[in-house]
A and B are shown apart, each in its own frame.
Chain A
Amino acid sequence: MRDSQVQDITVTLNGERREFAVPVRRNLVDFLRHDAGLTGSHVGCEAGICGACNVRVDGVVVRGCLMFAVQADGRVVDTIEGITASGEAEALQQAFVERNALQCGYCTPGMLMTGLELVNSGRMVSREEIREELSGNFCRCTGYHAIVDAIEHVVERGRK
């Protein structure tokens, strides 16, 4: 399979309908980073373990490394850039900054994607349940405690 084999796709990317010609073997996160210029999603393991590439497809958080770009054809894709611009992630981002729930920041966009899905679900969650929800996102810097605090803070505020 060669990069010369390309396919046209149409994606609603961060709210905007856009057309691309992408190599058929390119995965979603490489497409977002290198074709669409959205470098906020990161590549950590390319094996679906670390969650650094988490993005939202049709409203559901998926691994950007476990999906081909062509599979996004006709679908709605949201990245960290999109949820930042829309303000959807603002409360969570603010909590992450204030609580220092990030250090190197490499896992953070993926972590926010997962955290936002939890916050948006409106579920009443304990710290243990937050930790369970985050179990597919690897952070090497923080030890997770501050991340759990930040998400818990936003969840509790939503409850009030």
Chain B
Amino acid sequence: MTERTKVADEVATYTEGLMGKSVPRQTARRLATGRGRYLDDIDAGVPYHVAFYRSPYARARFTLGDLSAAQKMPGILRVVTGEQLSTVCAPWVTRLEMLPEHVSAPQHPLAISEVYWQGEPVVAVVAKTRAQAEDALDVLEIDWHDLEPVVDAAQALQPESPLAHPQLPSNLALQREIRRGDVEAALSKAACVVQHRFSFGRQTGVPLEARGVVARYDPRTEELVVYQSHQSPFQMQEIYAKQLSMPLSQVRVLCPDVGGAFGIKLHAYPDEMAAVAIAKLLAVPIKYQADRLESFVSDAHAREAVATAQLALDGQGRILGLSFDALFTFGAVSLYPRSSVGEALQVLEMCGMAYKVPALHGRVRGAFVNKVPSGAYRAVGQPLASAIIEQLLDNAAASLGMDRLEIRRKNYIVEADLAGDGDKRLRGLSLHQCLDTLKENIGYEQLRQRQEELRTLGVYRGIGLCTFIEQTGVGAGLYGRNGVPVAGKESVRLQLGASGQLTCYTSASESGQGAHTGLAQIIADGLGCPMDAIVVRSGDTQVDPTGGGSWASRGIALGGEAANRAARQLRANVLAIVSAWKSVDVADLEIDHGVVSLSDGEMICSLQQVARLAHYDSTQIPLADIPSLSIECSYSPFEKPYFMANGIQAAEIELDAETGQIRVLDFWVVEDCGTVINPLLVDEQIRGGVVQGIGAALFEHCIYSDTGQMSNASLADYLVPMASEMPDIHVAHVSTPEKETGIGAKGVGEAGTVGSIGAIWSAVNDALRPLEAAAENQPFTPDVILSAILRKLQAD
């Protein structure tokens, strides 16, 4: 037995107390009373402000003309060019050691002589106010020579296509295949073969607080302090140190309250690199707060892909083979440092994974084009993987005259399929239980009946179904093995201070998910103290233990387990101290509500007294080595690369066949994230994720012109889901604790989004089925729906 499994066995006894209770978040009151402190609220001396001149072209060469007019404008400190910044900031190249064929071009904080996407920062103006900096952008003299861009992925892969970047060997950024069994034979011989074409529109995350940094470089001590609205402070510390040639110890990155992130604030962006490099170059405090317009053409884009897929089944609806081919539209370069390939690789790995698929052929490709670089956005490719297989199963059910829930149930993998050398990652799923629970919760039969009745009245309702599996708490295998310096573990340092206050410093940062509250619940139970004795802090590379941050649904799954272990170790140390002090056997001691007692209930002392003793009065403890009251623990999955969560979602929509408009009437989720530490917060993670997926499916779209300009780059034109368009969302749970950890929690931050996009695909096409039309283009705008109906009518 390994040491890790020992811990897991022992810890399973702690299931009572605060874990599992709906405790409101500790920070919510501060935020709800206007006392949040976000990036733009940071006051670091009197900073200068930066505004960027951004490329109006998707692909062009430029020459900087006379910049003196801008330099002479009121309030201007300096006009900074790419060449000037290259003296302090080295270019960076995205590389993955396990994927050497993925070749991306070098990136600079400011463009040097050429630009590769509309919105790429070209010149920085540093001024006393942002408004003054923006004034000077109007008088910069830049001579442009526009070049032919490539904006379409299929065209980019044609031999005669221009390159998105001259330093690329090819626009083909990624090509990977997976093959198992003889899928061609399955497709040619099967009783039933169905197919579907999928076009997923380009999107972006739109955190309400835009990105930003406040940077201060002190030339006396050669220290750099960067406040940044970011999800991964340790990643950025590493990057600033490397690009600015500084020792890691001289760089401190702090993340204040983060106003939404969703993966968008997980990358290293040229504008933020430029702002920090300018702080070093000019040795003045610099603030860069992106505005909404520039966010649309600089924040990571995501999810743009076209796919074709086929599913072969026998006459009873058993899957015989699955084939899919997806082409992703990346941007001009691969986002740094995590790259742009994640979404495509997730589709390759996860499409069909919840089902028994004897024969499989999948291919994913990605193409560089002259658009904003693409990268991680909530659920990273998994929504597409789910949407594809679930739509195929719906088509198969229709073709075979089968019930849509039953065809799913029939094909789910079961534990018996995983025996022996079977896939460890898929053990402990609860697909059948979730399906049964959903069926009951939605009143499936009545819903179906009502749908049928309304169809006779010309009302088209659709019921969407989407099984999902989800990678959560992704560990060190993802980036470490690829040579990308991003921690796959999460860590805590739990300290019992002399006042009796417990402080938990953690790498598990957050932007409102509530991980900190969950950690406090776990610590309170593990140590035996009330929650209000615990303060959880994160977002400071100087004081927190190293870890990944907030991405891949890891705060509780990994950070929580680290907290659990730290709390138990601290408990053991406290008891060892009391045992020596009072000459009592450790086995006879307990800690409850912050009080150490004998097993018979006699109180001995409070945690505060132990702390004062150990910190100030330790001669009373007859031990040469007093056990530490500061415990640091890290956790990363060991037996498997991540913890697989699962669930199923259902949507009911109404589609107006005259106008093409879709209204979401109701939405249900049944989800299994293992042990639920805090039901209140877990449910709201799911609901928020669902709405982000509904927005993706129905409204959100980065629309590009043929010349590579994003034509709807404002919040007035890029439509996001608002309250009046969204339904109530019913959430239920099945709980299958993760066996690898003591707390048994899996992640939940992305679950809603993983399934809701597919649920809307399924619902829309279910509504269209009596019209014999099929929707293939997301977002499902009225125009897309009417075109689908019209296509059918014209075919007749």
A-side interface residues toward B, CB under 8 Å? 2-4, 23, 25-26, 33, 38-47, 49-50, 52, 79-81, 84, 93, 96-100, 102-109, 112, 127, 130-132, 134-148
Q: Considering only CB atoms and an 8 Å cut-off, how many residues of chain B contact the other chain? A: 59
Contact check, B206 vs A145: say whether CB atoms are below 8 A apart.
Answer: no
CA distance A132 to B725 in the complex (A): 9
Contact check, A131 vs B724: say whether CB atoms are below 8 A apart.
Answer: yes
Could you tell me the distance in whole angstroms from the C-beta of A20 to the nearest C-beta in chain B? Answer: 16
CA distance A97 to B41 in the complex (A): 22
Could you tell me the distance in whole angstroms from the C-beta of B732 to the nearest C-beta in chain A? Answer: 14
CA distance A146 to B74 in the complex (A): 47
Contact check, A103 vs B206: say whether CB atoms are below 8 A apart.
Answer: no
A96, A131, A132: the one contacting B32 at CB < 8 Å is A96
A102, A112, A131, A136: the one contacting B28 at CB < 8 Å is A102
What B residues does A96 contact at CB under 8 A?
Answer: 28, 32
Q: Does B618 contact A (CB under 8 A)?
A: no
CA distance A42 to B257 in the complex (A): 13
Contact check, A100 vs B208: say whether CB atoms are below 8 A apart.
Answer: no
What A residues does B723 contact at CB under 8 A?
Answer: 130-132, 134-135, 137, 139, 144, 147-148
Knowing A138-B720, A147-B723, the reply to whether A105 touches B690 (Cβ < 8 A) is no
Q: Which 4 pairs between the two chains have the least Cβ-Cβ distance?
A: A40-B34, A105-B31, A103-B512, A106-B259
CA distance A125 to B736 in the complex (A): 40
What B residues does A39 contact at CB under 8 A?
Answer: 34, 36-38, 40-41
Contact check, B74 vs A3: say whether CB atoms are below 8 A apart.
Answer: yes
Residue of B nearest to A128 (CB): B724
Contact check, A143 vs B74: say whether CB atoms are below 8 A apart.
Answer: no
Contact check, A105 vs B512: say whether CB atoms are below 8 A apart.
Answer: yes
B31, B514, B691: the one contacting A108 at CB < 8 Å is B31
B-side interface residues toward A, CB under 8 Å? 24-25, 27-29, 31-38, 40-41, 74-75, 129, 131-132, 135, 205-209, 257-262, 291-292, 511-514, 680-681, 684, 687-692, 714-716, 720, 722-726, 728-729, 752
Could you tell me the distance in whole angstroms from the C-beta of A69 to the nearest C-beta in chain B? Answer: 13
* Best-buried of A98, A109, A138, A143 by chain B (most CB within 10 Å): A143
Contact check, A47 vs B716: say whether CB atoms are below 8 A apart.
Answer: yes
What A residues does B514 contact at CB under 8 A?
Answer: 100, 103
Contact check, B209 vs A44: say whether CB atoms are below 8 A apart.
Answer: yes
Contact check, A105 vs B36: say whether CB atoms are below 8 A apart.
Answer: yes
Could you tell me the distance in whole angstroms from the C-beta of B650 to the nearest C-beta in chain A? Answer: 16
Could you tell me the distance in whole angstroms from the C-beta of A126 to the nearest C-beta in chain B? Answer: 12
14 extra A-B contacts, CB within 8 A, seeds A103-B684, A143-B726: A25-B131, A38-B34, A39-B37, A42-B38, A47-B292, A97-B24, A103-B512, A106-B209, A131-B723, A131-B726, A140-B206, A140-B692, A145-B728, A146-B687
What A residues does B24 contact at CB under 8 A?
Answer: 97-98, 100
What A residues does B512 contact at CB under 8 A?
Answer: 102-105, 141
Contact check, B32 vs A103: say whether CB atoms are below 8 A apart.
Answer: no
What B residues does A2 contact at CB under 8 A?
Answer: 74, 132, 135
Could you tell me the distance in whole angstroms from the C-beta of B549 to the nearest C-beta in chain A? Answer: 15
What A residues does B728 contact at CB under 8 A?
Answer: 127, 145, 148
What B residues does A138 contact at CB under 8 A?
Answer: 208, 715, 720, 722
Knowing A42-B208, A105-B28, A139-B208, the reply to whether A93 touches B33 (Cβ < 8 A) is yes
Contact check, B208 vs A104: say whether CB atoms are below 8 A apart.
Answer: yes
Contact check, A143 vs B36: say whether CB atoms are below 8 A apart.
Answer: no
A3, A44, A130: the one contacting B75 at CB < 8 Å is A3
Could you tell me the distance in whole angstroms from the C-beta of A97 to the nearest C-beta in chain B? Answer: 4
Contact check, A3 vs B209: say whether CB atoms are below 8 A apart.
Answer: no
What A residues does B752 contact at CB under 8 A?
Answer: 143
Could you tell me the distance in whole angstroms from the C-beta of B277 to the nearest C-beta in chain A? Answer: 25
Contact check, B260 vs A100: say whether CB atoms are below 8 A apart.
Answer: no
Contact check, A100 vs B684: say whether CB atoms are below 8 A apart.
Answer: yes
Could you tell me the distance in whole angstroms from the C-beta of B302 to the nearest C-beta in chain A? Answer: 14
What B residues does A100 contact at CB under 8 A?
Answer: 24-25, 28, 514, 680-681, 684
Could you tell me the distance in whole angstroms from the C-beta of A113 to the nearest C-beta in chain B? Answer: 10
B260, B261, B729: the one contacting A143 at CB < 8 Å is B729
Contact check, B209 vs A42: say whether CB atoms are below 8 A apart.
Answer: yes
What B residues does A140 contact at CB under 8 A?
Answer: 205-208, 260, 262, 688, 692, 720
Query: Can you list 17 A-B contacts (CB < 8 A)?
Result: A3-B74, A3-B75, A25-B131, A26-B131, A42-B209, A45-B292, A97-B28, A98-B24, A103-B260, A104-B31, A104-B259, A106-B207, A131-B726, A138-B720, A140-B205, A144-B691, A145-B687
B257, B692, B715, B729: the one contacting A50 at CB < 8 Å is B715
CA distance A65 to B681 in the complex (A): 32
A46, A80, A130, A142: the one contacting B687 at CB < 8 Å is A142
What B residues does A112 contact at CB under 8 A?
Answer: 32
Knowing A97-B25, A134-B722, the reply to whether A143 touches B33 (Cβ < 8 A) is no
Contact check, A49 vs B715: say whether CB atoms are below 8 A apart.
Answer: yes
Contact check, A47 vs B729: say whether CB atoms are below 8 A apart.
Answer: no
Contact check, A46 vs B292: say whether CB atoms are below 8 A apart.
Answer: yes
What A residues does B681 contact at CB under 8 A?
Answer: 100
Contact check, A84 vs B34: say whether CB atoms are below 8 A apart.
Answer: yes
Residue of A nearest to B31 (CB): A105
CA distance A132 to B132 in the complex (A): 39
CA distance A91 to B147 in the complex (A): 59
CA distance A106 to B36 in the complex (A): 8
Contact check, A84 vs B513: say whether CB atoms are below 8 A apart.
Answer: no
Contact check, B257 vs A45: say whether CB atoms are below 8 A apart.
Answer: no
What A residues does B720 contact at CB under 8 A?
Answer: 138, 140
What A residues does B261 contact at CB under 8 A?
Answer: 104
A43, A104, A130: the one contacting B260 at CB < 8 Å is A104
CA distance A132 to B82 in the complex (A): 48
Could you tell me the distance in whole angstroms from the C-beta of A23 to the nearest C-beta in chain B? Answer: 8
What B residues does A79 contact at CB under 8 A?
Answer: 34
CA distance A136 to B724 in the complex (A): 9
Could you tell me the distance in whole angstroms from the C-beta of B640 to the nearest C-beta in chain A? Answer: 29
CA distance A134 to B752 in the complex (A): 22
Knowing A145-B729, A146-B684, the reply to whether A106 touches B38 (Cβ < 8 A) is yes
